[in-house]
Amino acid sequence: MSKKRPTKLYRVLRWMLFTAYPHTRAEGTENLPDEPVIIVGNHAQMHGPIVCEFYSPMQRYTWCAAQMMHLREVPAYAYQDFWSQKPRYSRPFYKLLSYIIAPLASCIFQNANTIGVYHDARVVTTFKHTVTHLQAGDSVVIFPEHDVAYNHILSDFQNRFIDVAKLYYKKTGKEICFVPLYVAPSLKAMYYGKPIRFCADTPLPEERERIRRYLMEEITAIACALPRHKVVPYRNIGRRKYPYNKDEVNHHETSGR
């Protein structure tokens, strides 16, 4: 699949964001198989897509909400997904902001290495484009959280993205790996965990649950093993409400104090 040349505006915007955003280390890259994979991570609001765009150690395409690629659809989606949980007094400002960012957002998401994700009949297009990129040797990054509580690190994962592995197997005869990723903005790092390989012989509903559960548990384990830090949650809540990866008592115990 050929990729069109990014527009000049996009290149300027990307440079500005890259310059302003803190450098992020990629840890655990030894866990990445030498083949195309599906990276599955915590969204960390906008941090997940940003660090994967700038600091992924492999050529990759990222799933993004298709609404963010279409100018007229950006305001409603951006407000609902990013800012609808803000304090009531500030919501008129964010509604206005959702319209202001629309031209810039659509420019960025149309020109970046993205695959538009649809939640209607057009999802077939999402899956076909994903498999095409995997067959071309690119990896794919997916952030499958949705607004359902799971634990203090993650919101619950949707599971239908795992169906990509079934389609990829039908096209290639290969069982693809899913690699967990924990994005920790406060540590200025992203951490790759050990992969899990899709098993084509297992019934798909069972495989969805097996892989989904493994990815959530592995990302949680990675986060909890790190030094004490604030976790950027999926929900766009105030920073003062961000949880820590471990409580202060456990932190003191593990640090020997």
Each residue's pLDDT tens digit, 193-230: 999 999 999 999 999 999 999 999 999 999 999 999 99
pLDDT at 18 over 50: yes
Alpha helices, DSSP H, located in 136-173: 163-172
pLDDT value, residue 82 = 80
pLDDT at 2 over 80: no
pLDDT value, residue 177 = 98
In a domain, 111, yes or no: no
pLDDT value, residue 88 = 85
Report the candidate in 82, 116, 109 with the shortest Cα–Cα distance to residue 97: 82
In a domain, 179, yes or no: yes
The first and second tokens of residue 136, run together, are: 């071309």
CA atoms within 13 A on the CB side of 157: 25
In a domain, 42, yes or no: yes
In a domain, 105, yes or no: no
pLDDT digits (tens, 9 = 90+) for 42-60: 999 989 999 999 999 999 9
Tally of domains within the chain: 1
Higher model confidence: residue 181 or residue 66? Answer: 181
Segment of 75-79, 81-85, 159-163, 239-243 carrying the highest mean pLDDT: 159-163
Q: What average pLDDT does this structure show over 143-149?
A: 94
Boundaries of domain holding 46: 22-66+123-254
In a domain, 164, yes or no: yes
In a domain, 200, yes or no: yes
Element (H, E) at 92: helix 91-100
In a domain, 169, yes or no: yes
